[in-house]
A and B are shown apart, each in its own frame.
Chain A
Amino acid sequence: MKSPRALVPIVIGLLVLGFWEWYVRSGRVEDFFVPAPTQIGAWFWSALCDGSLASATWVTMRRLMLGFAIGAAIGIPIGALCARSSLARDTIGILSLGLQTLPSVCWVPVAIIAFDPTEAAVVFVVVMGTVWAVVIAVQESVLNVQPLYLRAAQTMGSRGWHLWTHVIFPAALPGIISGLKQGWAFAWRSLMAAEIFVAIIDGFGLGALLNAGRDLHRMDLVMGVMAVVMLVGLLADLIFFSPIERWLRRSRGLER
């Protein structure tokens, strides 16, 4: 039963690509406006061979992971604090809710003024993209931990730090993970925005590559980079977040 399920999208995909190729080749559309798949493929191959794609992807991934890690490291304790204290919830919690709705591109001017167009500015934008979603997710999932678990743990002598690490966090983990996943998605979007707007000398990321494509009027490059950006996002989900979520759900019997 497995092969037909994979086969159908592949066949459809090939048909679409074939049609696209034929449509461009037949001269119905200018290829500097819409390049054919083989032209995008040619760029992809050359960028792969000269190492520029790999280095741009690495620069981008490094920023993403650094910004995401910082955002999560700040967001998790703040979210926990908001869950614990209603004062924090009414101040930082509300602020986070507001800032989460702020499109993360809005942080770019702030970052440039504060840090000049440097690596720090880009990472700052990623952190701002991540942190608020994480704060809110952690706050909500900690508040939603079943009181029964807390009562049971308390009668067995669990208090304070032990209660947090052995009961509250494990119980809230599924919510925290989906919050991190959302934070990651925001971080990814904000990073692209930052890389397109902030031209940095010391690192040439995927966003900068995309921007260069615009300056050169190279549609094959632009579309090729877009495909890579899409692929990175998809892979992060496929090989990182989805397996963790699936494992969590299965090990707790929330799925079958």
Chain B
Amino acid sequence: MPANPSSESNSQLTLRHVTKRFNGRAGLVTAVEDISLQVKEGEFLVLVGPSGCGKSTLLSLLAGLEQVDDGSIKLDGADVVEPGRDRLVMFQQDALFPWLDALENVMFGLRLKPGLTDAERTEAARYYLDLVGLGDKEKARPHELSGGMRQRVALARSLAPNPRVLLMDEPFSALDALTRDQLYGDIQKIFTQRKKTIVLVTHNIREAVCLGDRVVLLSPNPGRVRQVFNIDLPRPRRINDPALATLAADITTALSAHLAEPKEGLV
């Protein structure tokens, strides 16, 4: 992989004027338009915005599952054109394979990673299952686990091949509040210990403030960057911390203001 030659010094993931359109039933939809962002190595970036503002689309583009129509996405200076092990995705639904047990699910990506012995793969898979607190569940099939446990296995699966960037698409939205709070703790622990670059998508502003170093506010029709907030609260952060609540309220206000604005195209 080439080193980063660009002037965008220590940014690892660079989006320049990214636009993506879909030719759906309702005609041409511009899902995201002219989005430029830079994500630094080891940064936790959160994309927030109402449903339909192109968050998932943006993540699929970063994952290489979709191709940009305009603009470019680069990881360490190289164009992102296809899915790759350096950018693993955690989806809203756990996407665990029901024909494999928890350990085998975590092994899936590891088996595709060259240069490891089977013993090393098993050891790594066990390590990450332990890390997410499921060391005793390695033989369980996905249907034998709760929603929160499944999402934890999915997290271990995404972490195990040691990707450069972890992409997460609303991974907590289907979980109950208690499990979610626990996972906020786990994610932050892993983030600080493993120093990963993380891009997380959510429509939950509190969650964004709790987890992100930077929160990018998107607005829909078409999806655009509206505002960027730096979150300087010390970690580990707790979801019901009052300082966090105040910041979240500010962002919510900003979001409502943007949504109330008249559409440029219509004026």
Q: Is chain B found bound to chain A in the same assembly?
A: yes
A152-B63 Cα distance, complex, nearest whole Å: 10
> In the complex, are the beta carbons of A253 and B83 less than 8 A apart?
no
A20-B120 Cα distance, complex, nearest whole Å: 70
Answer whether residue A158 sits at the interface, using C-beta atoms and an 8 A cutoff.
Answer: yes
- Given A148-B91, A148-B93, A251-B141, A154 and B83 contact (CB-CB distance below 8 Å): yes
- Counting contact residues on chain B (CB < 8 A from A), the size range is 20 to 34
> In the complex, are the beta carbons of A253 and B89 less than 8 A apart?
no
> In the complex, are the beta carbons of A155 and B83 less than 8 A apart?
yes
A164-B75 Cα distance, complex, nearest whole Å: 28
Cβ-defined partner of B113 (8 Å) among A151, A154, A157, A254: A157
Nearest CB in chain B: distance from A54 CB, A: 39
Q: Which residues of A contact B142 (CB under 8 A)?
A: 253
> In the complex, are the beta carbons of B99 and A170 less than 8 A apart?
yes
Which of chain A's residues 118-171 have a Cβ closer than 8 Å to chain B? 148-149, 151-158, 162, 166-167, 170-171
Majority DSSP secondary structure for residues of A touching B: helix
> In the complex, are the beta carbons of B91 and A152 less than 8 A apart?
yes
> In the complex, are the beta carbons of A155 and B63 less than 8 A apart?
yes
Closest to B111 in A: A166
> In the complex, are the beta carbons of B99 and A251 less than 8 A apart?
yes
Q: Which residues of A contact B71 (CB under 8 A)?
A: none
> In the complex, are the beta carbons of B83 and A157 less than 8 A apart?
yes
The total number of A-B Cβ pairs within 8 Å is 63
Cβ-defined partner of A155 (8 Å) among B87, B97, B113: B87
Nearest CB in chain A: distance from B201 CB, A: 15
- Chain A: residues with Cβ within 8 Å of the partner, total of 20
> In the complex, are the beta carbons of B112 and A152 less than 8 A apart?
no
Cβ-defined partner of A167 (8 Å) among B97, B143, B144: B97
Answer whether residue A173 sits at the interface, using C-beta atoms and an 8 A cutoff.
Answer: yes
Answer whether residue B185 sits at the interface, using C-beta atoms and an 8 A cutoff.
Answer: no
Answer whether residue B236 sits at the interface, using C-beta atoms and an 8 A cutoff.
Answer: no
A252-B143 Cα distance, complex, nearest whole Å: 7
Nearest CB in chain B: distance from A26 CB, A: 59
> In the complex, are the beta carbons of B97 and A170 less than 8 A apart?
yes
> In the complex, are the beta carbons of B95 and A148 less than 8 A apart?
yes
Q: Which residues of A contact B99 (CB under 8 A)?
A: 170-171, 173, 251-252
> In the complex, are the beta carbons of A162 and B141 less than 8 A apart?
no
Q: Which residues of A contact B113 (CB under 8 A)?
A: 157
A147-B72 Cα distance, complex, nearest whole Å: 25
Answer whether residue B127 sits at the interface, using C-beta atoms and an 8 A cutoff.
Answer: no
A151-B85 Cα distance, complex, nearest whole Å: 12
- Given A171-B97, A252-B98, A253-B143, A151 and B89 contact (CB-CB distance below 8 Å): yes
A152-B108 Cα distance, complex, nearest whole Å: 10
Answer whether residue B233 sits at the interface, using C-beta atoms and an 8 A cutoff.
Answer: no
Which of chain A's residues 170-204 have a Cβ closer than 8 Å to chain B? 170-171, 173
Q: Which residues of A contact B88 (CB under 8 A)?
A: 155-156
A152-B60 Cα distance, complex, nearest whole Å: 11
Closest to B101 in A: A251
| Nearest 5 pairs of A and B residues by beta carbon | A253-B143, A156-B109, A152-B95, A157-B112, A252-B98
Interface residues of A (CB under 8 A from B): 148-149, 151-158, 162, 166-167, 170-171, 173, 251-254
19 additional contacts, CB 8 Å, given A252-B143, A253-B143?
Answer: A148-B93, A151-B91, A152-B91, A152-B95, A155-B63, A156-B108, A156-B112, A156-B161, A157-B83, A157-B84, A157-B85, A157-B109, A157-B113, A162-B112, A166-B108, A167-B97, A170-B97, A170-B99, A173-B99
